[in-house]
Amino acid sequence: MKDLLTTVSSIFVILFSLSVLFLAEPTDARTALPTEQRNEISDRPPGKSSLLFTRVQGAKIKNGVLIFMTLEEDGLEDHYFPLRGKNVVLSQTPDKQLPVSSIQFTEESENCLRINICPSIQINLLEELTAL
């Protein structure tokens, strides 16, 4: 009797776990964004999506990977973005268009991504890209 009860309870636990796994709705990636960024993205035309990283502490390009660090509430967070094999446009825009110490990723078209780096971030794009 004890074995039967253990087996039945194990089956219930397994079925419950599977139901949670299969019935869970996929989360939307935009829910993690702050409200003002969600509003900015929703105001843009449907063809262009944008992602803004603020409070960037430093950036560099090493072996075809854009590496930058942001200051978050729980400390510093590293971000890595591979540049090789993609149509990427890197540019440094004037201070008036971007917040200070920020990097913006904008999808220009289906196959092109523009990365705008604020000039307050000390990175020499020509020197970094020719070192590849």
CA distance 58 to 86: 23
pLDDT digits (tens, 9 = 90+) for 68-118: 998 888 888 999 988 877 788 888 877 567 888 888 888 877 778 888 888
Mean pLDDT, the chain, as a whole number?
76
**Which of the 8 DSSP states describes residue 47?**
T
Radius of gyration for the chain, computed over Cα atoms and rounded to the nearest angstrom = 22
Q: Per-residue confidence at 22, pLDDT binned at 50, 70, 90? A: low
Any idea which of 26-30, 62-66, 126-130 has the lowest mean pLDDT? 26-30
pTM check: above 0.85: no
Phi, psi angle pair for 101, to nearest 5°: 55, 60
pLDDT at 47: 54
